[in-house]
Amino acid sequence: MPENAQLLMLGSFPPPKERWCMEFFYPNPQNDMWRIMGQIFFGDKTHFERPGTKAGKKAFNREEIISFCEAKGISIFDTAQAVIRLQGNAADEHLEIVEPTDIAALLQQIPSCHDICCTGGKAAQTLAETLHCAMPKVGEYTETNFADRTIRFWRMPSSSRAYPLSLDKKAAAYRRMFETIGML
């Protein structure tokens, strides 16, 4: 949670640990979040990738990702602290949120943050319930007051490859958000 964070990115909950390639957010090498960020900020979707240690499998460079987030003022967390996996996978439709994250407490740690983006449908639904506001359309935002500040609540396309949108179109939606916030 960089103190200078202007943006809080929220996913729903990490996938089962056997799918991780690093100890950080969006750890599944099949998830496109770090490819989206590489495409937007470096013009290279492979910017955050590094060769894996198991039979050439792809992995992400955790240290470079953390440095990037700190430098850009991007804070990342999940909308849930505890879930029940109804089918043993990370699909949003198979997650039952048992304990939502205390978003107000997160925002206290990042006083310059006025933008929250959700990176999937379950995360957006959970945040809309927390903020007591309508859920925006994918790629758009709604403004609301929460925790003594005005918040732009962005609903972004899921970075999961299961979400039926090309990497280029996902990156274009995220680019518009970063441009609107003034981070690009």
In a domain, 1, yes or no: no
Instruction: Tell me the three-class secondary structure of 92-115, residue by residue.
Output: HHHEEEEEECCHHHHHHHCCCCCE
In a domain, 174, yes or no: yes
pLDDT tens-place string over residues 118-167 = 998 889 999 999 999 999 999 999 999 999 999 999 999 999 888 889 99
In a domain, 2, yes or no: no
Q: How many domains does the chain have?
A: 1
> Among 49-53, 66-70, 108-112, which is the least confidently predicted range?
49-53
Domain with 122 in it = 7-179
- How many Cβ atoms from other residues are within 10 Å of residue 147's Cβ? 13
Indicate yes or no: pTM above 0.85.
yes
In the sheet with 149-155, reading across from the earlier edge strand, the strands are: 74-78, 7-11, 115-118, 149-155, 140-146
In a domain, 55, yes or no: yes
Report whether pLDDT(85) > 90. Answer: no
Q: What is the CA radius of gyration of the chain?
A: 16
In a domain, 111, yes or no: yes
In a domain, 184, yes or no: no
- CATH no. for residue 117? 3.40.470.10
In a domain, 143, yes or no: yes
pLDDT for the residue numbered 120:
87
In a domain, 147, yes or no: yes
